[in-house]
Structures are given as C-alpha cells and as structure tokens.
Amino acid sequence: MRIAFQGEPGAFSEAAALKWRPEAEVQPCPAFEDVFDAVERGRATLGVLPIENSIGGTIHRNYDLLLAHELRIAGEVELPVVHALVALPGTTLEQVTQIYSHPQALAQCDRFLRSLAGVEVVATYDTAGSARLLAERDLRQAAAIASERAAALFGLQVLKASIQDFADNITRFLVLGRGGATQASLQPDDANKTTVVFTLPNEPGALFKALSVFALRGIDLTKLESRPVPGRPWEYLFYADLAAGLHEFRCGRALSHLGEFAPSLRVLGSYVAAPRDPAPATGA
C-alpha cells in the first residue's frame, strides 16, 4: 500500500499516514492538489490530508478540493502535533533573524513568535520543507518550526521544544481513496461517522429545517462548516460531520429527508471515526 501526503519527509502529514498504516510506503507530494492527483491516477492507494487543527482551525483549501474531486473519505487520523524550533548546529536563539514554517504551524505557535523581538516570520508550504530549506541553503541566522523528526532527518538541532501555544495541539487528517471497485472498503459496516456536503435555498429557516432532520433522529453533528459556492457570490455550501454510519437506518432516513428540499446533497464518505489519544505525544 502506498499513501500520498503533502510535504517533505518528516512532515506531520507523513506521521499521520504512518499512524494510519505503519507498514505503508509513503509518497511525498508538493501540494494538496498533487495528493488528489496521485490517488486519482493510481500512483497511490490512499491520500492523507489535514482538514482541521484544534488551535488553527479548518484547512479550508482541502474542503474545497473535496468538492472538486471524486475521492471518498475512507477514514480519519487524529495526530498530536508538537512543534519545535530547529536550526543548523551551532546556531543560537539570539542569532536567529528569520523563522520559516507553514502558515498553520506559525498560527499554532503565535504566542512564542510574539515573544521574539526583531525576528521576521516567513510562511512556506511545509514544516519539514522549511527544515530542509535551512539545511540546503546553509541558513545560519534562520530557524524553522517543524517536528523533531524533521530536525533529525535534515541534520538540525532543536533550539526549543514544544513551542505550540497549547499542549493539546491536535490535527485531524482525512484518509482519501477511490470509489468503484474499492467502494466496499470505503464504507465499512462499523462506520460511525459520515461526512456530507449540501446546499440550501436562500429562505428563512432553511438551515434550521436542515438541521432538524438530524435532531429529530438523534444524530449528533460533530462539525458544521460553511464555504462559499465557487462562481456564485454570497451563496454557501454546508459541510457536516454526522455521528452515525451511512448504513444506519436513521442516517439514511435523515439524508433522504434532507434531499427532499436541499438543491444538492453529496455524501463524501462514511467511515470509522478516529479514536481519541489520551495525551499529546512528544514528537512526530
């Protein structure tokens, strides 16, 4: 099995892929779009993409890509994320004038970054890629926010460990696969979570009516996210995570009811929810 992820070796997405299937071969991709492409073209069996962080919030780009592609959600992984400030050996914190990392990582370490005076923050496409950048360009007055594993891979030292704003910094990743012949494996009988996306007519009470189809059947919504409809200003899509499997009668009935008045409705996947880790890990 080959799992595609966005980023360089040592990225948290790679750690999530290996947490999902420790025996899998992993395939780094430059961008989120490349992960979708690798799975759709059969170069990878599955793809792993971050969708939400407990500090930084939603990764909106990946919600948009879910709608633009036909991949199905096969599962999810929750990964405790521990950020470190890393630099070339011999560099001290006082020498650092630039810090590189992914925008999400920068947001998750905002309190630490604001404590530093005279340091330029530079957004990059990946945490591990930032570590690689330091090594390849021999940047002696720069540091990166990345995992301790990325530091080890690229020969860097840890200047300061666990710099995220909150100890319980967790990122939720979606595992994506193709439908068709593999559809049975993407909708397991023990599924307890279903993700859907729908639109609603622009009229009073439309969202209340939509949510009531789940409330009436005792289905909890663990997440509800609105996103703009591309090309239609001020119209919105609603992404919802339901705490029920698609095979459950109540879930099927709720979606049938919603489909009676929702102009569009699509099931993105029905899968087993990620188990909750008892405590954050100290590395990734």
222 a catalytic residue: no
**Rounded distance between C-alpha atoms, residue 58 and residue 63, angstroms:** 9
Measured CA distances, 63 to 37, 138, 142, 164, 195 (Å): 16, 36, 33, 25, 11
171 a catalytic residue: yes
Given 5, 154, 173, 238, the catalytic residue: 173
Contact 144, 83 (CB under 8 A): no
Given 45, 124, 171, 199, the catalytic residue: 171
Q: What element of type H or E holds 46?
A: strand 46-53
* Residue in 37, 35, 38, 32 with CA at minimum distance from that of residue 62: 32
* Residue in 158, 217, 234, 223 with CA at minimum distance from that of residue 193: 223
By annotation, the residues acting in catalysis are 171, 173
